[in-house]
Structure 1
């Protein structure tokens, strides 16, 4: 509890004077952290006394292949995966613990499921950061509801004192978990973009009092402008975003609604995705994680650049996954289309909210899933975008609108092309 309170106080009240001060402070944190990791993680022992840039770039595949030597508790990967899968299948997430280490499981959107490990100290640090950065007011009782794919003992670590916690199991029919949320009447509602859309569309439809949270926080999926508008207009509440994944609590919106990297927790390097340097995939180093060190871990997410002078660096948008960029070919050359350019083109072409998905199935072919009246409008918006990017020629097929399931991530742009 002392660790939680200390972290809460630091995250809530400590103020950095400038970005230069943040980076200087990070350098000291990293030096101390890397020394500790190299002493306790067999995988990193050979990197002792080396600067951060010499450490290998990590990803989910490499992490899972080497987890037994990366983790500092000597935990067996097969046992960890077995415990995590059993907890998810039974929906008894309180049992997802091995040797006092909480075990979480990623959704597997990128094709491989990853494990998340946190000991008691790390759970307290996480809870302190979450409470400090997300709670709107400290002088009132809070009812925090979580509408995500899976629960975890990690999330329950935020249920302290005047804070009640409720997990809405999205594995149930939506009318069941929405009704349960309405009975709970959360003051703080945290959910995936898709779950929040379901809440906006159906809250008040099942005989209970409609939810009226003071603050809503979207995470785990891309939040497009039209989805944001639906949620904000329905609930007339503050809508903030959080960038939380198995790799850590990476970013959240500040009091002005601007999403910023949590640079008091993580160090960010940029892998640029285009020559113009408008988008990058982040390479993160978390200098709080010890059980499962996260060092130079490259995420598959596309981040849009934004510039300002505040101490913590802003995020323009979380614009989809690198793996879902459209990669179209013509004349032996490739044109890469970032997902947020597609979102923007569709939004500009269609004023109303539309349910759609665009899937690349070959180097020259796209499938457009939407209501029939939108098929040609979306196609023309795509053709206009591609013409501006380099006159790429593609063919399109049409299909009915996608039937979203809150247990799976909502991806409006998907690349299934394996060539």
Structure 2
């Protein structure tokens, strides 16, 4: 059995924390290790902790948080492996343009791009060793019971990330399918490969719904990720496909939460420290309360330490889970619930284009965008509003033209020819971030 599969089974039967106190002790041990390494290798953190080094969770809660803007402004000093932002960003953008998503920068790290909830590009580094283990975390904590072995998984994602190839073994067969694959081809793969586990964003599962009678295989489980899964939609999927639906909460900043056998979303307390507070900074500990602030400390990524990193997600804690795990549960995540856009191809087919794909085109067209919003009022129509960063000297109209050309070129790859309108605009985020939608579809 491969070392990765050993990791998977170890994670499946993850550390038996019988009490909250055991979780706290483990997190503080890992926190001290993370901070010691960060101070040795990162001038940013040496300076940050020059007057006081947090050694406990309570002390950590008094540390000023960082966010994407601070991280990006101090990228060269913050990372511990001596790489430069301009170099890794150029590497990632080139990979994106070439549609070549495999490989490591300097054979050391995977470089990821993210637009997040606000701002332009975020650049995230994942070391090679961790990259090879993360897919097994994804698999082991996907709420997939071992009784369903062998797993025949169709993994639907925008791109096939480095490390997922290693997950294949005699008991696990992972097949990749891009989210832009035509629905007929997806159904063919499901049937021909006798898939018993579907892993896909909710928006793709939604597209499969009208075709459920053409799917001849019986799913043992559907695992959703990458987008918010509303409770009503979860029940709809469960009824339509007659199977269990579970959710994984994955972000560029870390694998935040995974499902248990009951389908409840548990924070991965052994991989991340998650602090939830209200508007005044008071801790959120009771189920049902909305956390206005979420701070994440990634305990396993030492290449780009994220210590008390503020995320823009809004979450509500859930009740204690009957599975017995002491890891906290998340009742639901408040997201933008972005809609799918539809276009007409040159041969008159109506096809979906997913929001995450359009986001990638926008953020890799230019570094100068602070925020954007995409509108569609009818099939084939598309308007993009962009707000540029305040210190950008280039004419916003020129930046808009770059975005327009990039989107139109990418759409043409799918045999879609349409005129995209890109307009410079002011796009202030609302006070309640959960009400902001990057993609507004009103047909």
What is residue 295 of structure 2 aligned with on the other side? 283
Task: State the alpha-carbon separation in 2 of the partners of residues 56 and 211 from structure 1.
Answer: 51
Could you say what secondary structure the match of 2:167 adopts? coil
**2:53 aligned residue (39, 42, 50):** 50
Query: Residues 90, 186 of structure 1: CA spacing in aligned structure 2 closer, same or farther, 3 A cutoff?
Result: farther
Alignment of 1:160-309 (within 5 A): 160-203=169-212, 205=214, 209-273=215-279, 278-280=289-291, 281-308=293-320
Structure 1 gaps, min length 5: 325-338, 340-367, 372-404
Query: Which stretch shifts more, 263-272 or 168-177?
Result: 168-177
Q: Which moved more, 1:100-109 or 1:30-39?
A: 100-109
Q: Any conservation in 2 of the 1:197–1:230 contact (CA below 8 Å)?
A: no
2: distance between equivalents of 1:85 and 1:304? Answer: 35
8 A contact 1:200–1:230 mirrored in 2? no
2-side partners of 1:415 and 1:7: how far apart? 36
**Which structure 1 residue ranges, 4+ long, deviate > 6 Å from structure 2?**
368-371
Alpha-carbon separation, structure 1, partners of 2:224 and 2:185: 21
Q: Distance in 1 between matches of 2:260 and 2:376?
A: 35
Any stretches of 5+ residues in structure 2 without a counterpart? 55-59, 339-374, 379-410, 415-432, 439-443
1:87/1:23 Cα in 2 relative to 1: closer, same or farther (>3 Å)?
A: same
Deviation at 1:215, TM superposition (A): 1.3
Q: Is the 8 A contact 1:182 1:203 kept in 2?
A: no
Structure 2 length-normalised TM: 0.66
Does 2:97 align with 1:89? yes
Instruction: Find the residue that maps to 2:21 and give its secondary structure.
Output: helix
Distance 1:115 1:18 in 2: 36
Count of residues paired in the alignment:
332
Shift in Å, 1:288: 0.8
For 2:178 and 2:273, locate their aligned partners in 1 and report how far apart those are by CA, in whole Å: 33
Structure 1: how far apart are the matches of 2:91 and 2:247? 30
Give the TM-score, by structure 1 length. 0.70
Q: Report the alpha carbon displacement of residue 271 of structure 1 after superposing the two structures with TM.
A: 2.8
C-alpha distance in 2 between matches for 1:289 and 1:81? 19
What secondary structure, in the 3-state scheme, does the structure 2 residue paired with 1:279 have?
Answer: coil
Counterparts in 2 of 1:20 and 1:259: CA distance versus 1, 3 Å: same
User: Counterpart of 2:275 in 1: which secondary structure?
Assistant: strand
Question: How big is each residue's C-alpha offset from its partner over 1:124-175, in whole Å with a ceiling of 9 and x where there is no partner?
Answer: 3323422322242177222222212232103334334432222211234444
Shift of residue 184, structure 1, vs aligned partner: 3.3
Q: Using the TM superposition, name which of 254-263 and 94-103 deviates more.
A: 94-103
Distance in 1 between residues matched to 2:269 and 2:116, nearest whole Å = 26
Q: Which residue of 2 aligns with 1:74?
A: 82
Q: How well do the aligned residues superpose, as a CA RMSD in angstroms? A: 3.3
Conserved? CA contact 1:143–1:164, under 8 Å: yes
TM-aligned CA distance change 1:82 to 1:192, over 3 Å: same
Measured after TM superposition, the shift of residue 216 of structure 1 is 1.0
Deviation of 1:217 after TM superposition, in Å, equals: 0.9
Distance 1:145 1:112 in 2: 31
